[in-house]
Structures are given as structure tokens and as C-alpha cells.
Amino acid sequence: MAFEIPKTAYSGKIKEIKLGSGDKAVTVGGETSYPFQLFEGEMPHLPRIAMEVWDMPPQEWAPAALEPFKGVTDDPASWAKKCVADYGAEMICLQLVSTDPNGLDRGADEAAEVVKKVADAVDVPLIVWGTANHDKDTEVLRKVTEVCQGRNLIIGPVEEGDHKKIGAAALSYMIVKHLQPN
């Protein structure tokens, strides 16, 4: 008797979107099954992993973790370029660690300029990630959308309570494109 894999019917489909722009844009989504259940549906695009860059030099990283980025951790744009050029990063996730109100509390204008420099330095999709402080992220990410107008950035975290303000800014500065259902 042949073994038959039990299958779960999944009627949904994950929206397929393009992150970034140009030749190095990355397409994600399109799955028609639960994650990695390829015997139940399709996964047209492989999962992607971004290399992480901080907007300030890491203070508590182990020396072994810092070694591959020696000489560039004080300049986020150079750090991101190194990730792409030396390690083949398909995406960069810029962590806005310095904007944390419980840390350096860097202002929105200064943080947005750092994001712009990194966005100008690399040609791969850029994820801009705040500190998960609703008030600070709203202020910073709105400024980022203004300074990086027209770029197809991925911004976050965007959560209940701040999604309307950040989303409105992202749409008005054409950071994201309005997605229509299929």
C-alpha cells in the first residue's frame, strides 16, 4: 500500500509584490499553500534574507561578528555597500537603532538623512526598520518617506495606532504603490 501524504486545502494566495526597483528588485509572495508545504501548492519565489546594517556602530557585538565589517560600521552607507559588494546581499535592512528614545534618541531629520545616504549607496531593495516605539517610529518613518520620495522602500514596523499616519505619508510620497486585489 502506497503512502499518501495528508493534504490541507488552502484556498488563499499570498499577494505577489516586487520590492525595490530596477535590475536588482526582488519579487516575493505568490504562494498557494502553507509555508514550505510544496506538495499542497506552489511557492514561485524562494524566501529572501536581507543583511542587517545599523545606523550607528554596534556597541555590544562580539568581535567575531564585527570582524567581517571592520572599518565600515561607523558609516552605514559604506557598511551597506560592503554587504552588497563583498557578500552578495540581495536586500539591506537598515536598523534605526539610534532613534530609540531609551538610547541615543536621534532626531527624525538626522535619521532620514542616514536612510537617504544608504538608499543612494546601494541598488538593492532597502528595508528601513524603526525601534517599535510608536511615537518615535511615526515621526521618523514619516520623515524618511518625505526625504526618500519616489523610492520603493520597505518600512516598518507599522502597527495598530500608527499605520494611518505612516501609511498616508508613504502613499503621498510614493514610497509604496497602492496594491489592488487580484
Is 180 a residue whose pLDDT tops 60?
Answer: no
| Beta-sheet pairing, 26-28 with 17-19 | antiparallel
At residue 176 the predicted structure's pLDDT band, cuts being 50, 70 and 90, is: low
Fold of the domain built from segment(s) 49-172: TIM Barrel (3.20.20)
Residue 123 has pLDDT above 70, yes or no: yes
Residue ranges covered by each domain of the chain: 13-45, 49-172
pTM of the model: 0.88
**What's the confidence (pLDDT) of residue 181?**
42
Q: How far is CA 1 from CA 4, 17, in A?
A: 9, 43
What φ, ψ does residue 98 adopt, rounded to 5°?
A: -70, -10
Q: Per-residue pLDDT for 80 more than 70?
A: yes
Looking at residues 151-160, what average pLDDT do you find?
A: 87
The torsion angles phi and psi of 52, rounded to 5 degrees, stand at -90, 135
Q: Enter the C-alpha cell of residue 149.
A: 520620495
Q: Which of 6-10, 13-17, 62-66 has the lowest mean pLDDT?
A: 6-10
DSSP string, 141-158: HHHHHHHTTT---EEE--
Torsional sign, CA 86, 126, 123, 16 = positive
